[in-house]
Amino acid sequence: MKVAQFSRIGFIMAAAGSAVGLGNIWKFPYMTGEYGGGAFVLVYLVTIALIGFSVMVAEMLIGALGRRDTVGSFERLAPPDKKGWKYAGFMGFNGLIIMTFYSVVIGWIFYYLFEILSGLPTSTDTAKATFDNLVGNEAGIQIFWHTVATIIVTYIVYRGIKGGIEKINLTLMPALMLILFGLLIYAMNLDGFSKAFSFMFEPKWDKLNSEAIVRAIGHSFFTLSLGMGAIMTYAASLPKHASITKTAFIVTFMDTLIALVAGLVIYTFLFHEGAPAAQGPGLVFISLPVVLSNFGTLGTALALLFFLALSFAGLTSAVSLVEPVVQYLIDRFDTTRFKAVLIAGIGYYLVGIGALLSYTKAWGGFFSIAGKPLFDILEYSTDSILLPLGGLLIAIFVGYVLPKERVAAVLKKEMGERVFTVWYFSVRYIAPTALVFMMLNLTGILKIG
């Protein structure tokens, strides 16, 4: 089995590119708004530090030791009497489920990049009408941009780990950071900044209910790309001698930093114009363009840069969502990368059309189950169920199934004795407990608050 290897910086950028995505720049800011700001951010940060980082190390370890596709890595590492663990490797298919709606949203972003050029909407009503019209009526336009997104993403994946994935991440990730930090510096000089800062970092405990906690845990997995084998698949191409612990730390840190920066930038613009925080998923598509229209031509430039950064973030994550299945198909069926990409691509592309149609007025009823649009079902089932389940399996596998000596042999020399003990405790007890709590809460067995 020959898996191409990343360069060390290529791996860091690819893993960070996977983690930093629409989850950071689109979802995190609007979720923060919906759940009232500071308290939600605090739970999110604590979850990332306590569980997210530990599970990321565990997931990277499986990939780095297994050196195969996700199914192959679990199979190879499981003891002889526990080979059934290979089925956990099918978590790699979650990526395609996420891609169904992720690609649609990247399509919206592409559409907006062009829409912005013809001028920003000056009132929330017009902005809302544009967004609602796109999502509710313009199936053709959405299918067009979803197709463009699919072609770009599948082409990058087709070019492989070195020539496609590593290259795109080494280019787009620095560009994305440059744009976002540039916007942050600009935002810091605006009146709204201090308000945005206190909104995000002063906890309002009364807003914190069990739903907010569950969503924060779920989102911490989504944002770090955990629980579906993306990081595991990349780690199968980890250069020898690269430190798992260090890389996981850098990736977690960058991902968190970028989410916080995106939140600060967006809320500064919003508060600068006196707009309210709770805007829902339309936050960056409706509220932000209106707010920026008050800045004149500069506003158009800022909006362009923002949507450019958003599209970069989306693309680098999207390739990591497709790669696990492609790697699996290549390994298992000895097929060419081209064929594997074609199968995976067509698969998510078609369901994606169903997802976007489920929001349209004409087809919504047809693509809904029990009144819930397919788009929402796909998003909810991955974010809130499948990724945490994947995370739980990873934690149990590394914490209980893999022999401790094997785990320690790699990680102790990276972390040192004391940190290893804390990390191992987290993987065995803290992460599973939090994830089980979350799932029980979802099923309604345990409802607090």
Burial class (CB in 10 A: 0-12, 13-18, 19+), 283: buried
Residue with Cβ nearer ligand PFF (18 or 247): 18
Residues 289-318 touching ligand PFF, rule: CB under 6 A, are 317
User: Residue 145 carries which side chain, given as an amino acid letter?
Assistant: W
Distance CA 261, CA 264 (A): 5
Separation of alpha carbons 89 and 74, rounded Å: 6
**Rounded Cα gap, residues 343 and 345, in angstroms:** 5
- Adjacent-strand bridge partners of 372: 369
| Residue selected from 47, 130, 154, 223 as contacting ligand PFF according to rule CB under 6 A | 223
- Return the SS3 of 7: coil
13, 14, 16, 19: residue in contact with ligand PFF (rule CB under 6 A): 19
Residue 30's closest CA among 258, 210, 222, 284? 284
222 binds ligand PFF (CB under 6 A): yes
Interaction mask 319-358, ligand PFF, x per CB under 6 A: -xx-------------------------------------
The binding track of 159-198 with respect to ligand PFF, each residue x by CB under 6 A or -, is ----------------------------------------
Q: Any contact of residue 78 with ligand PFF (CB under 6 A)?
A: no
14 binds ligand PFF (CB under 6 A): no
Ramachandran assignment for 280, one of left (phi > 0), alpha (psi -120 to 50 degrees), beta (any other): left
Does the protein bind ligand PFF through residue 24 (CB under 6 A)?
yes
Cα of first residue to Cα of last residue in the chain, in angstroms, is 51
| Residue found under tokens 């970069």 | 312
225 belongs to the binding site for ligand PFF (CB under 6 A): yes
Is 228 a binding residue for ligand PFF by CB under 6 A? The answer is: yes
* Contact letters for ligand PFF, residues 83-122 (x by CB under 6 A): ------------x--x------------------------
As a whole number of angstroms, the distance between CA 109 and CA 145 comes to: 9
Kindly determine how many residues on this chain lie close enough to bind ligand PFF according to the rule CB under 6 A. Answer: 16
Q: How far is the CB of 52 from ligand PFF (least distance, A)?
A: 11
Q: State the angle between helix axes of 244-272 and 404-415 in degrees (0 to 180), rounded to the nearest 10.
A: 70
DSSP reduced 3-state for 42: helix
**Quick check: 41 and 262 in contact, CB under 8 A?**
no
Decide if residue 256 touches ligand PFF (CB under 6 A). Answer: no
In the complex, least distance from residue 121 CB atom to ligand PFF, rounded to whole angstroms: 26
Q: Which stretch binds ligand PFF (CB under 6 A): 13-21, 143-151, 180-188, 362-370?
A: 13-21
Q: Which positions touch ligand PFF (CB under 6 A)?
A: 18-19, 21-24, 95, 98, 222-223, 225, 228, 230, 317, 320-321
